[in-house]
Amino acid sequence: MIRFDGRMVLLDIEGTVSNLAFVHETLFPYARREVEGFLLHNQAAPAVVRVLEQMARDDGAASRTAWCPEPLGTASAALWISRRARSLMDADAKQTGLKQLQGLLWERGYHDGLLRAHVFPDVPARMAEWKHGGRRIRIYSSGSLAAQKLFFGFSEAGDLTPFLDGYHDTTTGPKREPASYRAIAADSNVAPGEILFLSDVPEELDAAASAGLQTALVVRPGNRPVGATGHPRITSFAEIQ
């Protein structure tokens, strides 16, 4: 058990709210499978154009036309971009553009009823208790803001978005940099010491602690083993009092 009397809980998703298997065995394979067909039919859509421009900038190119060697809007361009996207997925790249593209792909899957986000059983009840008790809840994940909203909007436990006050992704900053957590605190108008950050990644917790946040390491089935850290450990959100 750990005691938390602060004002806000900041949650990671993968390995904390949801098991690793959902991301790696459901979401990622779905994105890999659907990306080429999606790009073939949607390259000219404004949202897709913005994502491709971001992917180009992430790769150091000045624009998507300078980035992709194939004529944009063609099947060959869809193939080239999809191969690049799959390569980034294989490397588990945290690039903003890739995450935004995955978010667009998952949006279709959720709305078509092909995807439902896994959440651990203790999560919905504890989120409801925090919310009704006056605590704020925000998300900080490497997945895009759109992907985060879809995840909580289409979970196996139903729509959990009413419990959430905000979302943060890599546009806020890297998850292993203290400045990112200071930025979240400032954006939330909550003092860092009044925020509890829950994650399964010790390096993220180290960064949050350096920024003044309270922290706890979440140990879930399927997570990679973690040795000794300076962070309290929990196996369920019910252990937070």
Domain boundaries, the chain: 8-18+117-239, 24-111
Nearest-angstrom CA–CA distance, 76 and 60:
21
Average pLDDT, the chain: 95
Confidence of residue 189 (pLDDT cuts 50, 70, 90): very high
**Residue 215 pLDDT exceeds 90:** yes
3-state helix, strand, coil in the chain (%, to 5): 50, 15, 35
Q: What is the pTM of this model?
A: 0.84
Of 238, 219, 186, the residue nearest 12 (C-alpha): 219
Confidence of residue 23 (pLDDT cuts 50, 70, 90): confident
For residue 49, the one-letter residue type is V
CATH match for 8-18+117-239 among 3.10.580.10, 3.10.310.10, 3.40.50.1000, 3.40.50.300: 3.40.50.1000
Confidence of residue 226 (pLDDT cuts 50, 70, 90): very high
pLDDT for 228 equals: 86
Strand pairing class (195-199; 214-218): parallel
Nearest-angstrom CA–CA distance, 231 and 222:
20
**Residue 170 pLDDT exceeds 90:** no
Q: Report the pLDDT averaged over residues 67-72.
A: 94
Q: Report the pLDDT averaged over residues 116-135.
A: 97
* DSSP state letters, 119-178: --THHHHHHHHHHHTT-EEEEE-SS-HHHHHHHHHTBTTB--GGG--EEE-TTT--TT-H
Q: C-alpha 223: how far from its chain's center?
A: 16
Residues 79-95: pLDDT tens digits? 999 999 999 999 988 89
Q: Report the pLDDT averaged over residues 105-127.
A: 95
Residues 4-22: pLDDT tens digits? 999 999 999 999 999 999 9
pLDDT for 144 equals: 82
Instruction: Please enumerate, as own/partner, the contacts of 147-153 that have beta carbons within 8 Å and a separation of 24 or more.
Output: 147/99, 147/102, 147/103, 147/106, 148/13, 150/103, 150/106, 150/107, 150/110, 150/117, 151/13, 151/18, 151/117, 152/117, 153/110
Going through the chain in order, the beta strands assigned E by DSSP cover 8-11, 136-140, 166-168, 195-199, 214-218, 233-234
Confidence of residue 52 (pLDDT cuts 50, 70, 90): very high
pLDDT for 88 equals: 95
Q: Report the pLDDT averaged over residues 179-193.
A: 98
Of 183, 202, 107, the residue nearest 148 (C-alpha): 107
Confidence of residue 206 (pLDDT cuts 50, 70, 90): very high
Residue with tokens 């390491």, as numbered in its chain: 217
Return phi, psi of residue 140, to 5°. Answer: -135, 105
pLDDT for 174 equals: 93
| Contact indicator for 200, 16 with CB cutoff of 8 Å | yes
What CATH topology corresponds to 24-111?
Answer: 1.10.720
Strand order in the sheet with 136-140: 166-168, 136-140, 8-11, 195-199, 214-218, 233-234
